[in-house]
Structure 1
Amino acid sequence: MNGKHKTGSRRKNVPFPANTSTTRCLFSSKMNSSKRAGEAKFTCSGCERKFLLPTITNAYRCYKCDSVANSTLGSEQSRKDSGVCKHDQLNNAYPNGALLPPSASCSLSLSMTMGNKRAVICGVTYGKRKFKLEGTINDVNNMKNLLLDNFKFPIGCIRVLTEEQKDPNLIPTKKNILDSLNWLVKDCQSEDSLVFYFSGHGLQQPEDRKGDEIDGLDETICPVDFLREGMITDNEINSIIVQPLKQGVTLHAIIDACHSGTTLDLLYLCKKEKGSWKWKDNKPPHSKETMTTQTNGGLAICLSACEDGQMAADTAAFDGNRFNGLVTYLFSQIIRDNPEITYGGLLEKLHQEIGNIHQSKFSNSILKRIFHRKIDQDPHLSSSEKFDIATRIFKL
């Protein structure tokens, strides 16, 4: 067991953390696109929550109260005019707030995804294992609501993978996560906005491409069946959702897991030096890797919960007895409170909030009980290309 969390330390074997109760490291105890279809505001007849539906919709299931009702928005003509995405023939995330097919008897594989926004949200609890995580389901709901409410993602364009799903294709197994990542970028076109969110365990392992990692370790995310099927490496994620990005397509990945700093293997890291944020080259100095790991003209941006050598916290400090990923909770609150925040402002506020936890921990008895160790994590921004984080507004 290796309890060191410094980014600069090189570890030959997979580094497991020292025993702690609040991290998302494994073995802790707690822890085509055609033009957009027309949209209209709709009020759920069950809970009266307001949300957007495409005009092609004949029926809907509310993601808040799960009630199903007919809609008068849909018509045969609107279906012809709306430009429904033809490339989405995979199983879509209809449970937990998604569009229903025109006929209730239709197979769920008949997708109704439309427009130029698409998201895969994945939260892994790991069942009843000793390294079970408490907050990932809350993280998923938090992120889903953020996409719907703040960034106006159509409900049917969000695929949710959790162990609570009834559809076996939406359980966060390795196969289902990889299938969903392929769905996310399939036939992406200019002006598409794509989001991949992951809440779960992250690890490192010796690199499988010699010389492509500065520290000699590949970053990984852990599906629910990783003990049998293996982890998903940063190289796999890069090849599936980064390299296919065409000109004008933007992908945002938000990874709330340990060792997640370079999970997408992007070319540039944003580091703070002498009080200001600067882009640094993430390519190892003696690497023989070519630019094939980069996009096909699009832009990939990743917000990670911590640096590669750090651990990410799972905490109930902010929401009663409900556990949440620390960075997911802070990120969503900051975005809701500051809808026009820049990337630089977001980074500053994340670091400031975690710094406030450090300062108050030793004078606050409640935080002492919740955080059993110092929260040694620095949220991390990486990108496939440099941009001005001080002026660019954070948008999904």
Structure 2
Amino acid sequence: MPPTPMQNYGPQFEGANHQMQQPFFQYSQCNGRRKALCIGINYFGQDAELRGCINDAHNVKRFICSRFGYKEDDIVMLTDDASNPRQMPTRDNILQAMQWLVRDGQPNDSLFFHYSGHGGQTKDLDGDEADGYDEVIYPVDFEAASHITDDVMHEIMVRPLPPGCRLTAIFDSCHSGSALDLPYIYSTEGKIKEPNLAAEAGQGLLSAVSSYARGDMGGVLSSAMGIFKTATGNGKKAEQYARATRTSPADVISWSGCKDSQTSADTVEAGQSTGAMSFAFISALSQNPQQSYQSLLQNLRQILRDKYSQKPQVRLSRVIIDRARAETCRHS
């Protein structure tokens, strides 16, 4: 089991009343309450209708019940084939369900969030995104009610959590690398990744060229602005701002199907429509339910590598002090 005391890291600083303070977090022992929210949206009858998202929600629900001991009565399902209007994945219902998930969260609780549906990006307004764009998810009624940004999801699901409360989130959607706005992204070597500004600028240039080839002049403009922000150092400032404002003492981890700049596949595996990330996540943990974050990330990428270009990402709300102790979703 992970250590029980609070874990301190980073430099000390002078806080309120001239008291010396230091960043901290606390692992969840995962022996408290278990609650889950699973969302699957196929967007029936809309442009870019999907096929596997509702299957993903039900598959993940069955998996966490059988593998991790969640009870059906403690799981909220939002899918757009629901007959009950309260179970439709509208913007209002999703926001209320997110609030339900984290309400009265306590140390050692295990909260689980899964989203399978469309994802995208919108202009960043508060300066916490290195590429200048917030990541968003699209409720079934997004055309009338709008999307939900990563800023909003972080504010609802991460900020209220106390030290020692775990939230595990899975985003099987496009442009989802930082969909929960967690500030620390880890590599397959188990190290915190720092922004590669040169690579980001190159990726922005490639995106601009691709947008021009498709006749998407809006995409050309947004990519060009991303290149400018990277070149002027705004990316580094955004990372520093994100770590200052998004670090949490809670035990929060987010798995996503791809980088912010990538798309996630809606595909068929084992004869069933599914999201590639949801399929890989269940497959990897079914094969070995007691692996480290680093091992799980490597296995997710291995499962998807041969058929898909997307690269799953893992982000945390804080710094891992001892990677050998990094527990996986087996406690979730």
Judge same fold: TM > 0.5, yes or no: yes
For residues 88-103 of structure 1, the aligned pairs below 5 Å read: none
CA distance in 2, matches of 1:389, 1:160: 33
- Supply the RMSD in Å over aligned alpha carbons: 2.0
Amino acid at match of 2:328: F
* Gap change, CA 1:217 and 1:120, over 3 Å in 2: same
Amino acid at match of 1:138: N
Amino acid at match of 2:97: S
CA distance in 1, matches of 2:279, 2:191: 26
Matching residue of 1:225: 141
Q: Which moved more, 1:385-394 or 1:170-179?
A: 385-394
- Residue 243 of structure 1 pairs with residue 159 of structure 2: yes
286, 293, 304: which is aligned to 2:246?
A: 293
CA distance in 2, matches of 1:143, 1:204: 25
29, 52, 75: which is aligned to 1:158?
A: 75
Equivalent residue of 2:86, what SS? helix
Are 2:41 and 2:89, in contact at CA under 8 Å, matched by a contact in 1? yes
CA distance in 1, matches of 2:309, 2:193: 22
* Gap change, CA 1:153 and 1:347, over 3 Å in 2: same
Matching residue of 2:192: 279
98, 103, 111: which is aligned to 1:181?
A: 98
Q: CA deviation at 1:344?
A: 1.2
Are 1:191 and 1:250, in contact at CA under 8 Å, matched by a contact in 2? yes
Which deviations, in whole Å up to 9, do the C-alpha atoms of 1:316-345 show, x marking residues without a partner?
Answer: 1x221x210011111101111211122111
Amino acid at match of 1:267: P
Q: CA deviation at 1:241?
A: 0.5
CA distance in 2, matches of 1:257, 1:390: 30
Amino acid at match of 1:155: E
CA distance in 1, matches of 2:122, 2:47: 21
Which deviations, in whole Å up to 9, do the C-alpha atoms of 1:284-309 show, x marking residues without a partner?
Answer: 422474734333x2121100000000
More helix per residue: 2
CA distance in 1, matches of 2:150, 2:96: 16
Matching residue of 1:378: 311
For residues 1-396 of structure 1, the aligned pairs below 5 Å read: 116-209=33-126, 211-272=127-188, 276-280=189-193, 284-287=235-238, 289=241, 291-295=244-248, 297-316=249-268, 318-320=269-271, 322-357=272-307, 375-387=308-320, 388-389=322-323, 391-395=325-329, 396=332
Are 1:343 and 1:394, in contact at CA under 8 Å, matched by a contact in 2? yes
Amino acid at match of 1:325: G
Amino acid at match of 2:236: P
Amino acid at match of 1:394: T
Equivalent residue of 2:191, what SS? strand
Q: CA deviation at 1:220?
A: 0.2
Decide which structure has the larger Cα Rg and report it: 1
CA distance in 2, matches of 1:138, 1:216: 33
Q: Which runs of 5+ in 2 are unaligned?
A: 1-29, 196-233
Amino acid at match of 1:333: S
CA distance in 1, matches of 2:323, 2:98: 27
TM-score w.r.t. length of structure 2:
0.74
Are 1:303 and 1:380, in contact at CA under 8 Å, matched by a contact in 2? yes
Q: CA deviation at 1:130?
A: 2.5
CA distance in 1, matches of 2:315, 2:241: 18
Are 1:344 and 1:390, in contact at CA under 8 Å, matched by a contact in 2? no
Q: CA deviation at 1:173?
A: 0.3
Runs in 1 of length 4+ with deviation above 4 angstroms? 281-284, 388-391
Amino acid at match of 1:339: P
Equivalent residue of 1:255, what SS? strand
Are 2:187 and 2:294, in contact at CA under 8 Å, matched by a contact in 1? no
TM-score w.r.t. length of structure 1:
0.63
Are 1:257 and 1:305, in contact at CA under 8 Å, matched by a contact in 2? yes
Q: CA deviation at 1:278?
A: 1.1
Are 1:267 and 1:281, in contact at CA under 8 Å, matched by a contact in 2? no
Equivalent residue of 2:45, what SS? coil
CA distance in 2, matches of 1:250, 1:281: 25
Which deviations, in whole Å up to 9, do the C-alpha atoms of 1:71-121 show, x marking residues without a partner?
Answer: xxxxxxxxxxxxxxxxxxxxxxxxxxxxxxxxxxxxxxxxxxxx6111110
Q: CA deviation at 1:166?
A: 2.1
CA distance in 1, matches of 2:186, 2:327: 16
CA distance in 1, matches of 2:191, 2:182: 15
Q: Which moved more, 1:278-287 or 1:124-133?
A: 278-287
Equivalent residue of 2:193, what SS? strand
Which deviations, in whole Å up to 9, do the C-alpha atoms of 1:213-251 show, x marking residues without a partner?
Answer: 000000000000001110000000010001111011011
**Kindly, what percent of the aligned residue pairs are identical?**
36
CA distance in 2, matches of 1:341, 1:212: 32
Q: CA deviation at 1:281?
A: 5.0
Amino acid at match of 2:158: V
